[in-house]
Amino acid sequence: MRSSVVRDMFAVTSDPRTISFAGGHPGPEAFPVDELRSITDAIISKYGPAVFQYGSTEGHAPLRRNISALMQETYGLLHDPEDILVTSGSQQALYLLCRVFLNPGDLVITENPTYLGALNIFRSFLADIRTVEQDEEGMNISALEECLAELASGGQKPRFIYAIPSIHNPTGVTMSAERRSGLYDVADRYDIPVIEDDPYGMIRYDGLAVEPLKKLDARGRVIYVGSFSKTVSPGLRTGWIAAQSDIIRKCTIAKQGDDACSVTMAQFIISDFIESGAIYRQIERVKEMYREKRDIMAEALREMIPRASFNIPGGGLFLWVALPEELNAMDLLKKCLERHVAFVPGCNFYTDHGGANMLRLNFSFPSRDRIHEGLVRMAEIVEAELARSGVLN
């Protein structure tokens, strides 16, 4: 097992002087503190001891019903609450799925680049990770099909395909409808489950909501993983898996051994936050806040580091930035940390040697002023590096 770069960065970013573009933290101003405080007080008053007792491994029954209602309301997705497992964050959801699906050496397919937290879990299970390239419409489906055909010709079959179809981490890309149905068809034809990781799907800033892959799922191939970390609170560690009964049953057994059940109080809080409708207002609030921060960062970046190139993501918490190829983001990070600025070098999202000049910048956590100040410092370092590497000569 190796320590995740993102989490190691927590140590650096815990220094209050550090301006962190590194993690995936919500902005402190985004938490609905007063609402959560009154909900918490109300549920303790109303349910008393039940809020502090063990809960079932599957999760608090009203929360499972409310998650089902949320998926229906947001995506028009009908899913039986019985086939939902509440998890301790979507991190645990991915972990449990690996525990259920993977033996050492088993094949897993992911987009390249992809969420480094997922890569770290797959690696810790000693998975053999194969990757499929993506472009601005998402995963390259012909490449996926080629990959699967080649594996099949060698008698090999991946245990699952891991994908982030909506507002990909780190690229920000949302897979087109055509690619989604292509992905589903190929997975169906090759009889391979797809894990759809969807922490950002509900916080889309521009354009219409995109339907999750799960909505195409006539034959129960898609394992949907959701999270309240980016919409409500990551500290409440509440995520979920929506999948076929047999998968939910196996993940539940795995969860029994892992942490027995998730925190009862957190589940009561989130359940009430959905049921009262507060979550829909909160999602709108978060969208507005982060859209603005995204635009502030994009504008400052264009102005201060004009040689950086990037697309504007339609949602999520990150800009995915390419620097001139002469620059190495790991070297840059070292220098930036000396000036108390942190980010995640792009190479960490790749399984191969890709992404050396890429970096992922988070805009949800830092304040507007700190976004500006952090980019001022980065720009100075980038300029110096460019001069040193001869690009500016």
Q: How many Å apart are CA 103 and CA 319, to the nearest integer?
A: 35
Q: Looking at the DSSP assignment, which residues form a beta bridge with residue 170? A: none
4 or 176: CB nearest its own copies: 4
* Of the candidates 82, 90, 55, 47, the residue with the CA atom closest to the CA atom of residue 272: 47
Q: How far is CA 387 from the centre of its chain?
A: 36
* 124 near its own copies, judged by CB under 8 A: yes
- Nearest distance from residue 198's CB to its own copies, in Å? 17
Q: Give the residue, chosen from 51, 175, 327, 382, that forms a contact with its own copies under the rule CB under 8 A.
A: 51
- Nearest distance from residue 324's CB to its own copies, in Å? 33
- Nearest distance from residue 12's CB to its own copies, in Å? 12
* 262 near its own copies, judged by CB under 8 A: yes
Scanning 40-48, 71-79, 145-153, 366-374 for contacts with its own copies by CB under 8 A, the matching segment is 40-48
Q: Give the residue, chosen from 49, 155, 306, 390, that forms a contact with its own copies under the rule CB under 8 A.
A: 49
- Nearest distance from residue 27's CB to its own copies, in Å? 9
Count of other CB atoms within 10 angstroms of residue 379: 18
* 14 near its own copies, judged by CB under 8 A: yes
* 56 near its own copies, judged by CB under 8 A: yes
Scanning 174-182, 189-197, 232-240, 312-320 for contacts with its own copies by CB under 8 A, the matching segment is 232-240
Q: Give the residue, chosen from 253, 312, 330, 387, that forms a contact with its own copies under the rule CB under 8 A.
A: 253
Q: Where are the extended beta strands (E) located within the chain?
A: 19-20, 84-87, 107-112, 128-135, 138-139, 160-163, 194-197, 222-227, 239-242, 309-310, 318-322, 341-342, 344-345, 358-362
What is each CA distance from 32 to 23, 76, 141, in whole angstroms?
A: 20, 26, 40
- Nearest distance from residue 15's CB to its own copies, in Å? 13
* Of the candidates 124, 116, 131, 132, the residue with the CA atom closest to the CA atom of residue 98: 124
Number of residues that bind its own copies (CB under 8 A): 60
Q: Give the residue, chosen from 12, 50, 143, 289, that forms a contact with its own copies under the rule CB under 8 A.
A: 50
- Nearest distance from residue 128's CB to its own copies, in Å? 17
Q: Looking at the DSSP assignment, which residues form a beta bridge with residue 84? A: 242
The answer to whether residues 200 and 219 touch, using CB atoms and an 8 Å cutoff, is no
Q: Is 87 helix (H, G, I), strand (E, B) or coil?
A: strand
- Nearest distance from residue 123's CB to its own copies, in Å? 9
Q: Give the residue, chosen from 59, 81, 89, 170, that forms a contact with its own copies under the rule CB under 8 A.
A: 89
Burial of 84 (0-12, 13-18, 19+ CB in 10 A): buried
Q: Which residues contact 177 (CB under 8 A, 6 or more apart)?
A: 210, 211
For residue 256 the two structure tokens come to 């029994």
177 or 253: CB nearest its own copies: 253
Q: Which of residues 90-109 bind its own copies (CB under 8 A)?
A: 91-92, 95
The answer to whether residues 183 and 194 touch, using CB atoms and an 8 Å cutoff, is yes
For residue 103 the two structure tokens come to 């033996």
Residue 136, amino acid? E
48 or 76: CB nearest its own copies: 48
* 313 near its own copies, judged by CB under 8 A: no
* 57 near its own copies, judged by CB under 8 A: yes
The answer to whether residues 185 and 300 touch, using CB atoms and an 8 Å cutoff, is no
* 316 near its own copies, judged by CB under 8 A: no
37 or 219: CB nearest its own copies: 37
* 245 near its own copies, judged by CB under 8 A: no
Q: Give the residue, chosen from 73, 188, 258, 383, that forms a contact with its own copies under the rule CB under 8 A.
A: 258
Q: Is 197 helix (H, G, I), strand (E, B) or coil?
A: strand
- Nearest distance from residue 233's CB to its own copies, in Å? 4
In what side-by-side order are the strands of the sheet with 358-362? 309-310, 318-322, 358-362, 344-345
Q: How far is CA 334 from the centre of its chain?
A: 25
Scanning 20-28, 218-226, 293-301, 314-322 for contacts with its own copies by CB under 8 A, the matching segment is 20-28
* 280 near its own copies, judged by CB under 8 A: no
The residues that touch its own copies, with contacts defined as CB under 8 A, are: 1-4, 7, 10, 14, 23, 25-26, 28-29, 31, 33, 36-37, 40-41, 44-45, 48-57, 88-89, 91-92, 95, 117, 120-121, 124, 229, 232-237, 250, 253-254, 256-266
